Amino acid sequence: MSNQRENVEHESVHQEAQDTSTSAAEAPAAEGGEDIQARLAELEELAEQRRDQLLRAQAEMENQRRRFERELEAAHKYAMERFASELLTVCDSLEMGLDAARKTEDAGSIIEGTELTLKALRKAFDKFGIESVDPTGERFDPERHQAMTTQESAEHRPNTVLMTMQKGYLLQGRVLRPAMVIVSRAPDESSGSA
């Protein structure tokens, strides 16, 4: 019986040891679970902050894009306004010249008024980077010239501009209107021997 008693006591001690170790093992697991939950909450909060920052950055980029578009549109309008303002002076001058031409028979004053108007127009063109192109005597350039016809010429090399029928214009170095020209070609051998 004492053996049984020792066995029961031993089992009881053993059971208590197991219960204690299980409780001890459960305590860190419970604490570990709380740590995981706390860490998860921190990460969720951080993810929400990052999401908020991303949304703000996207909204700011969209606002900047719209602002740039408005500024670009205003710049185009403003540039046209300045150019149109310069042309109004030329228009006024033409109207005054036309009125003067109707009232006088003095061709000299009409010519002088027209020259002053042309000078004002050229000044406006210079101000905005518009330059005229008269390529007479130059090599034909299909990028800047429009050939209206060709003409045989023994004095000029083939593809030389013989005559400018209408001047071309460049805007900041870019073709605004090509010059209309007559281009030389080599004399036809058959026409020379006929």
Q: Give the tens place of pLDDT for each residue, 36-48.
A: 999 999 999 999 9
Whether residues 45 and 90 fall in one domain: yes
Number of independent structural domains in the chain: 2
Whether residues 74 and 146 fall in one domain: no
Whether residues 144 and 48 fall in one domain: no
Which are the contacts of 184, defined by CB distance < 8 A and separation ≥ 6? Answer: 150, 151, 152, 153, 156, 157, 158, 159, 160, 161, 162
Whether residues 56 and 110 fall in one domain: yes
Whether residues 58 and 83 fall in one domain: yes
Among 103, 128, 153, the domain-final residue is 128
Q: Which two tokens stand for residue 12?
A: 């009881």
CATH code assigned at 19: 3.90.20
Contact present, 168 and 133 (Cβ < 8 Å): yes
For 125-153, the pLDDT digits (tens) are 998 899 999 999 999 999 999 999 999 99
d(CA 78, CA 97): 29
Whether residues 28 and 94 fall in one domain: yes
Contact present, 188 and 152 (Cβ < 8 Å): yes
Whether residues 110 and 141 fall in one domain: no
With b for 16 or more beta-carbon neighbours within 10 A and e for fewer, the 97-133 pattern comes to beeebeeeeeeeebeebeeebeebbeebbeeeebeeb
Which are the contacts of 62, defined by CB distance < 8 A and separation ≥ 6? Answer: none
Query: Using 50, 70 and 90 to split pLDDT, how confident is the model at 32?
Result: low
Q: Residue 181 sits in which domain range?
A: 130-194
DSSP state of 104: -
Query: Is the per-residue pLDDT at 78 higher than 90?
Result: no
Among 128, 148, 166, the domain-final residue is 128
Q: Comparing 11-25, 61-75, 135-149, which segment has the lowest mean pLDDT?
A: 11-25
Whether residues 95 and 173 fall in one domain: no
Tell me the pTM: 0.56
